[in-house]
Amino acid sequence: MPKCGAKTRKGTPCQNNAMANGRCRMHGGKSTGPPPEKMRGNKHALVTGEYETIWLDTLDDTERVLFHVVDTDALAQLDNEIRLTDIRERRMLQRIQRLQLGKDMMPIQVTHRKVKGPDGEEKTEEITMQPALDTIRRIEEALTRVQERKTKLIELKHRILSGGRDDTSSLDGLVKAIRESGGA
């Protein structure tokens, strides 16, 4: 029987028997993960949205309009990042709104235990839900970090467009206006 061969914590090759995919049950032999076609668009681990991957082809109709409406006027890469940051902010605000309306509860823990119901039937799963207020707080903290990154992107764009000059007077006014408008 072939051996697994995966590296153990000690750094030595695993000596367990390999399964069909060449690894033992401890090193991925039982699970190969989701199929590649199911990986794109997977939102199962999404909590705050701060690190959510956003693909242009997954935008809803409103986000597609927003993507083209966001007012930027230079450097394509920075423009795209600024646009996507705006969309990220919108999605995070929508998550907060859904939680405030009680439409979303976030599962944080799934415990497995055997419990007998009143009819004598055994149940093997219990889902504990995370309180909405805690999730809202986490999203708001993440939203603040996203907005700070957006401000840094705008500052970088300004520096590039000004040719590296230390023209901070107009930049300070821009940053102040963004912060006062609630953007950061």
Residue that has been written with the tokens 């076609």 in this structure: 37
- Give the per-residue pLDDT at 165: 65
Half-sphere exposure of residue 114, counting CA atoms within 13 Å on the CB side? Answer: 3
Q: Which two tokens stand for residue 3?
A: 């051996």
- Tell me which residue of 98, 111, 40, 86 sits closest to 184, measured CA to CA: 86
Confidence of residue 183 (pLDDT cuts 50, 70, 90): very low
pLDDT at 74: 55
Output 56 or 132, whichever has higher pLDDT.
56
How far apart CA 167 and CA 153 sit, in angstroms, is 16
Q: How confident is the model at residue 62 (pLDDT cuts 50, 70, 90)?
A: very high
Per-residue model confidence (pLDDT) at position 58: 80
Please give the share of the chain, as a percent, with pLDDT higher than 70.
66
Contact present, 43 and 55 (Cβ < 8 Å): no
Residue 159 has pLDDT above 90, yes or no: no
Q: How confident is the model at residue 44 (pLDDT cuts 50, 70, 90)?
A: low
- Please give the average per-residue pLDDT across 34-61, as a whole number: 71
- pLDDT of res. 137: 87
Tell me how long the chain is: 184
Question: Is residue 107 scored above 70 in pLDDT?
Answer: no
149, HSE (Cβ side, Cα atoms, 13 Å):
17
The pTM is what?
Answer: 0.42
Instruction: Write down the number of H helices and E strands in the chain.
Output: 5, 4
